[in-house]
Amino acid sequence: DTGVSQDPRHKITKRGQNVTFRCDPISEHNRLYWYRQTLGQGPEFLTYFQNEAQLEKSRLLSDRFSAERPKGSFSTLEIQRTEQGDSAMYLCASSLIRGRQETQYFGPGTRLLVL
């Protein structure tokens, strides 16, 4: 399978702990996006990378959140000092930008539960 993969698929943590999620995009996709989806809602944009450069961050991305994409391949999303409100599904998507054409392909997500 050459789709977007995310690890872990599920994570349970205690409030105050740090967690890190990984996303492996489709090979050769130059853009990578992170979204957060809470129950009953559509995904909300967090941040995105073009190659290794982080080009946009949402106001939803507090100082406790940091994302990296070293070497323009996989990406990590770290949440420090987790809070119960961080409980959500974290989705990664990748795309290959070709002129005006861009379609984002999503991974299966990492479901985070903060106790």
Partner 1 sequence: AQTVTQSQPEMSVQEAETVTLSCTYDTSESDYYLFWYKQPPSRQMILVIRQEAYKQQNATENRFSVNFQKAAKSFSLKISDSQLGDAAMYFCAYRGGGATNKLIFGTGTLLAVQP
Q: Which residues bind partner 1 (CB under 8 A)?
A: 3-4, 31, 33, 35, 40-45, 48, 56, 58, 91, 93, 97, 100, 102-109
Distance between CA atoms of residues 109 and 22, nearest Å: 10
Residue 45 or 74 with smaller CB distance to partner 1: 45
Tally of CB atoms within 10 A around 26? 16
Classified as helix, coil or strand, 85 is helix
Residue 74 or 106 with smaller CB distance to partner 1: 106
CB of 41 to partner 1, least distance (A): 6
CB of 68 to partner 1, least distance (A): 18
CB of 53 to partner 1, least distance (A): 13
Residue 25 or 43 with smaller CB distance to partner 1: 43
Q: What residues contact 61, with CB distance under 8 A and at least 6 apart?
A: 46, 47, 67
Classified as helix, coil or strand, 30 is coil
